[in-house]
Structure 1
Amino acid sequence: METVRSQTASAAGVRVKKRARLTSDHYMSFLFLAPSFLLLLVFVYGFIGWTGYVSLSNWNTLVPDFSFAGLQNYIYLFQDFRFQADLRNTLFFTILFIGLVIVIGVSLAVLLDQKLKGESIFRNIFFFPMALSFVVTGVIWQWLLNPSTGINLFLKTFGIQPKWYTDTTILAGFQWGKTEFGIPVAIFAVVIAAVWQMTGFSLAMYLAGLRAIPDEVREAARMDGATEFQLFRKVILPLLKPITVSVIIIMAHISLKIFDLIYAMTGSGANFVTDVPGVYMFETTFRGNYYANGAAIAIIMLLTVAIFIVPYLIQSRRGEV
């Protein structure tokens, strides 16, 4: 009996302790956080839900029409020549953009990690483009790559006259629905501008990762007979894998929803060779008044971004646990 009473008393004490954990400080914390949670609930998740609801309606005129349309707007988009071109452009833009940002970022980080003279100057030069908005970058590179101005004035002296973002050529193309599926030459111009701006971020990430690798690890590899190339390929690169994953996720998030750079630099382009879902959504919704179609594009963009972000967040959460 005494054992049972002691166990009951200890259980009651545990319950009392659990109840005592919620103090006035906790309630004040909840009170201060409540407005943020409420705004997040309304202006993020509420609007996402509203966009999804509109995408399933017939609201494609100035007058709202919320009658249920099912997946009609989504079916229309995937059969639409322009949206097919948008998906093609986004695919190749994302691959080229992420690949070049990683390669150039790693290369520059390795060079700066050699502790060269004037490192801070070079580091600031490489970081400077990140201080600009994509709109400014788009306007600058639109002028630089204009067929009649900028870089082309210099290239003309060598008999070279590239069309840059006005080129409608599709490399290695094959027919996909109504669209020729291949790499649009014009997309390279947009990739150059995007890589110029975001390489500084990749450089900062990789430079921090290189500086975090202990010198003992490098010395141990050298003592085992590893060359500098083997040291970089078999020791340093594997240690930088978490940074590479982070860079890929962040750059993919930027590339899949990019709008301002392309809209300021090229717009949709001739034959939609530089068009992306963000530009199509803007013109469809706010110029064509096809609100349901625009909402469907927005939901598709959200899902494509979630494909990259959600697994990364789940993996990060499991790693923390």
Structure 2
Amino acid sequence: MRGIRKWGPGLLLVSPSLVALGLFVYFFIGWNAKVSLTESRGYVIDDRFVGLQQYKRLFADETFHNDVRNLAIFTVVFICGSLLFGLALALLMDKGVRGENALRSIYLFPMAISFIATGIVWRWLLNSDTGAGTTGLNDVLGLAGIHSDWHNAQSKWAVAAIALPAGWALSGYVMALFLAGLRGVPEELREAARVDGASETKVYWHVVRPLLLPVLMSALVILAHISLKTFDLIWAIAPLDPRTETPALLMYREAFRGGFYGRGAAIATILFFGISLLAVPYIWYTMRKERGR
């Protein structure tokens, strides 16, 4: 009775959210997994159980292999770019600059823009036209005497170039995470290191850096999760291009353009498990650490 009195009002308060979460998230995750085990096509629901046939076909499909490679390149460039640029901004802001509040808002603003709008703007910046009508990076590099197509959405490095807008959009968020971590380091620890003769570089490396590990892990998990499910940005810049296609776009093409709902559901399930492999261990580690306190 005492336990019911303690937890009852709280559970009653959050019960509508729990019901909505169970219905619109976990129920449909289970339904999607069920569809992935069938041969459903078009608007005809086929409940004929085929087991793991959809997954076997996917893992034997060269197109899926190519999309996974593209996703790996996209993820590495996106995460590295966001972390490096965000950390650099955080270190500069940590030193204390004039107009810090305004600069924080400016750096965070790209995150408030939808990936569709970001993709449309960057499609212009990555314009591969030549001649008098050239715009964007081609025009800037041409004026500098540099002729390269690494940023061209049709080149072999297309998916890496498309990761740049994603990194630009999230670097401000990463900056905010690192800045919060930097401001959370007690000033007494820094002063003690300086008194012992440590230079400012050594203070950051030996004192501040170890304390930023939880922030780094949080940023890695969040960015990896975003990269795995990114669809709208790539679609806005270079839709239906095998050189920039990722599993998320393949899922859309198979399910909604080809009508192969079983195959599309299998791709969605694989992405879900990929995200879970990143998020679940981190959540478990965080909860265990909190209990240890």
Q: TM-score, normalised by structure 2?
A: 0.92
Deviations 1:219-248 (CA, angstroms, capped at 9, x unpaired):
111122212221111111111111000000
Q: Aligned pairs, how many?
A: 285
Instruction: Tell me if structure 2 keeps the 8 A contact 1:165–1:274.
Output: no
Whole-angstrom CA distance in 2 between matches of 1:209 and 1:131? 22
Deviations 1:130-184 (CA, angstroms, capped at 9, x unpaired):
1101111111101111112222123223343433243333xxxxxxxxxxxxxxx
Pick one of 127, 139, 147 that aligns with 1:153.
139
Instruction: Tell me if structure 1 keeps the 8 A contact 2:152–2:158.
Output: yes
The reply on whether 1:193 has 2:165 as its aligned counterpart is yes
Shift of 1:49: 0.9
Instruction: Tell me if structure 1 keeps the 8 A contact 2:39–2:262.
Output: yes
Instruction: Tell me if structure 1 keeps the 8 A contact 2:153–2:159.
Output: no
Instruction: Tell me if structure 1 keeps the 8 A contact 2:89–2:175.
Output: yes
Shift of 1:28: 5.1
Whole-angstrom CA distance in 1 between matches of 2:88 and 2:277? 29
Whole-angstrom CA distance in 2 between matches of 1:277 and 1:26? 42
Instruction: Tell me if structure 2 keeps the 8 A contact 1:52–1:299.
Output: yes
Larger radius of gyration: 1
Whole-angstrom CA distance in 2 between matches of 1:21 and 1:231? 49
Instruction: Give 1:113's aligned residue.
Output: 94
Instruction: Give 2:132's aligned residue.
Output: none
Instruction: Tell me if structure 2 keeps the 8 A contact 1:109–1:204.
Output: yes
Shift of 1:60: 2.9
Shift of 1:51: 0.7
Instruction: Tell me if structure 1 keeps the 8 A contact 2:40–2:47.
Output: yes
Instruction: Give 2:153's aligned residue.
Output: 166
The amino acid across from 2:138 in the alignment is N
Pick one of 233, 236, 246 that aligns with 2:218.
246
Q: Which stretches of structure 1, 4 residues or more, deviate above 4 A after TM superposition? A: 25-29
Question: Unaligned stretches of 5+ in structure 1?
Answer: 1-18, 170-184
Identical positions, percent: 41
Whole-angstrom CA distance in 2 between matches of 1:29 and 1:199? 37
Instruction: Give 1:319's aligned residue.
Output: 289
Instruction: Give 2:4's aligned residue.
Output: 22
- Listed as ranges, the matches of 1:1-321 within 5 Å are 19-23=1-5, 27=8, 29-148=10-129, 149-163=135-149, 164-169=151-156, 185-269=157-241, 272-321=242-291
Whole-angstrom CA distance in 1 between matches of 2:11 and 2:284? 26
Instruction: Tell me if structure 1 keeps the 8 A contact 2:123–2:237.
Output: yes
The amino acid across from 1:250 in the alignment is I
| Structure 1 residues 194 and 53: CA distance shift in structure 2, 3 A | same
Instruction: Tell me if structure 1 keeps the 8 A contact 2:73–2:160.
Output: no
Q: Identify the range of structure 1 (228-237 vs 287-296) with the bigger mean alpha-carbon deviation.
A: 228-237
Helix, strand or coil for the counterpart of 2:4? coil
Shift of 1:20: 4.5
Q: TM-score, normalised by structure 1?
A: 0.84
| Structure 1 residues 231 and 27: CA distance shift in structure 2, 3 A | closer
Shift of 1:188: 2.2
Q: Could you say which structure has the higher strand fraction?
A: 1
| Structure 1 residues 299 and 151: CA distance shift in structure 2, 3 A | same
Deviations 1:12-34 (CA, angstroms, capped at 9, x unpaired):
xxxxxxx24534x8655444433
Instruction: Give 1:182's aligned residue.
Output: none
Please provide the CA RMSD for this pair: 1.7
Deviations 1:76-120 (CA, angstroms, capped at 9, x unpaired):
111212211111011121112111211111111111111122322
| Structure 1 residues 216 and 168: CA distance shift in structure 2, 3 A | same
